[in-house]
Amino acid sequence: MTDPADPQGSIRTRTRLPAPSWYVAVLILAFFAAFALHMRFNGILACPAAYDEAHYLGHCQATAYGDYDHGAFWFGSEPEIRDAARSADVLFLGNSRLQFGFSAPALGEWFRHAGSSYYLLGFSHTENITFVAPLLRELQPRARVYVINTDDFFTDWTTGPAADVMNGADTRGRYRTKRTWQNAHRALCTSIPSLCGNMMAFYRHRETGEWLFLGEPEEPPSGIEGEEPLEPERVEDMRARAETFLAGLDAPRECVLLTYVPSRHPERGNMQALADALHMPLYSPQLAGLTTVDSSHLDRASANRFVAAFLQEAEPQLRACLALEPNITPAARP
């Protein structure tokens, strides 16, 4: 009701109300601003871009993105990688230390000279046979040789990403969303790199499985220190699981090569004891002066030295299993 003393009061009251369209616009802008900040510091935009036709983003360390690699294999969202792993002559298995340790120029050079194919089928989060064994049953690889990094591989715990892709609710949909976000990440962070962060990320090569590491590691570089004590009970526990896993591989026992890629706290003694218990050689050259990129994984220069030395040791057996001429290739020379 209008006050007789102020007949325009109701009009003035109405004009002081905020216009609904401006109110909605402010809310929308605030929402998008908060979302953009979230993606920049906690999502995929926190990591650098390094896309090309050969690579996809396997992992971004940001808390709201994390792993994509496990789902890419499990759900087949990157069909080329399953095909490459399935058809490789030599299949490398292990965790992220395998990936860093063998993603080296010396490996590709050796296989180019040998005329054979290979694939690095290692995963982050200290992945092990709990995920790899069922994945191999699904892939049905045709490898003539397996190279296995024994480091925590023959264990029975289920990692976070493995539990998620194998048993999580609506995991396939979430991984599909992660794949979709890579399109936006590629367009924005390739065009304007300064808009995106520099958190640790790795990109997987579709044809060989090698990792391309980018960004700032969470821990500083370090050398290889000391030696962990021998643990006979742990070795026996790993041996029992290893026997079961090896029996399921479609390759002769002599064409399964065990290795150990050193890290900051080396366990070569335990891995040698495991190989001895399995009555198998351990191809793990001991080199002085190896260094890591983040206290856990070999840096690129150390990885290349390690791979060259590994090939020098393992080449005769590799050539025998691949039915190659027994000559020494340039990549394997010291």
CATH of the domain at 144: 3.40.50
Q: Output the DSSP codes for 265-310.
A: S--HHHHHHHHHHTT--EE----TT-EESSSSSB-HHHHHHHHHHH
Matching residue, tokens 């976070």: 160
Question: What does the alpha-carbon distance between residue 253 and residue 247 come to, in Å, rounded to a whole number?
Answer: 8
Question: CA 90, CA 259: separation in Å to the nearest integer?
Answer: 14
Q: What pLDDT score does 330 carry?
A: 46
Q: What is the CA radius of gyration of the chain?
A: 26
pLDDT value for 86 = 98
- 206's tokens: 């579709």
Whether residue 13 lies inside any domain: the answer is no
Q: Is residue 161 part of a domain?
A: yes
| Both tokens assigned to 166 | 């194998």
- C-alpha atoms less than 13 angstroms from C-alpha of 33 in its C-beta half-sphere: 6
Does 16 map to a domain? no
Q: What's the number of CA atoms in the CB half-sphere (13 Å) around residue 6?
A: 7
pLDDT at residue 264 in the model: 83
- Residue 3 domain-assigned (yes or no): no
Cα angle at 251 between 249 and 254, to 5 degrees? 115
For residue 278, what pLDDT is reported?
A: 98
Specify if 91 maps to a domain: yes
Return averaged pLDDT per consecutive 10 residues of the chain, 334 residues in all: 50 54 68 54 89 96 96 96 98 98 98 97 97 98 98 96 96 96 94 93 98 89 84 97 97 97 91 98 96 92 98 97 73 42
222: containing domain: 44-332
Q: Is residue 36 part of a domain?
A: no
Give the pLDDT confidence score for residue 146 in this predicted structure.
98
The answer as to whether 32 is a domain residue is: no
Q: Is residue 272 within 8 Å of residue 282, measured between CB atoms?
A: yes
Q: Indicate whether 104 belongs to any domain.
A: yes
How far apart are the C-alpha atoms of 73 and 121, rounded to whole Å?
Answer: 10
Query: ∠ CA(210), CA(56), CA(187), 5° rounding?
Result: 145
Number of domains in the chain: 1
Q: SS3 helix, strand, coil % of the chain, rounded to 5?
A: 50, 15, 35
pLDDT at residue 225 in the model: 79
- The SS3 call for residue 251 is coil
- Token pair for 70: 């496990």
- Residue pair 332/308 in contact by the 8 Å Cβ criterion: yes
Q: What pTM did the predictor assign?
A: 0.87
Distance in angstroms (rounded) separating the CA atoms of residues 53 and 64: 25
CB 110 within 8 A of CB 332: yes
**Cβ contact 9:2 at 8 Å:** yes
Query: How many C-beta neighbours within 10 Å does residue 298 have?
Result: 26
The C-alpha atoms of residue 207 and residue 79 are separated, in whole angstroms, by 11
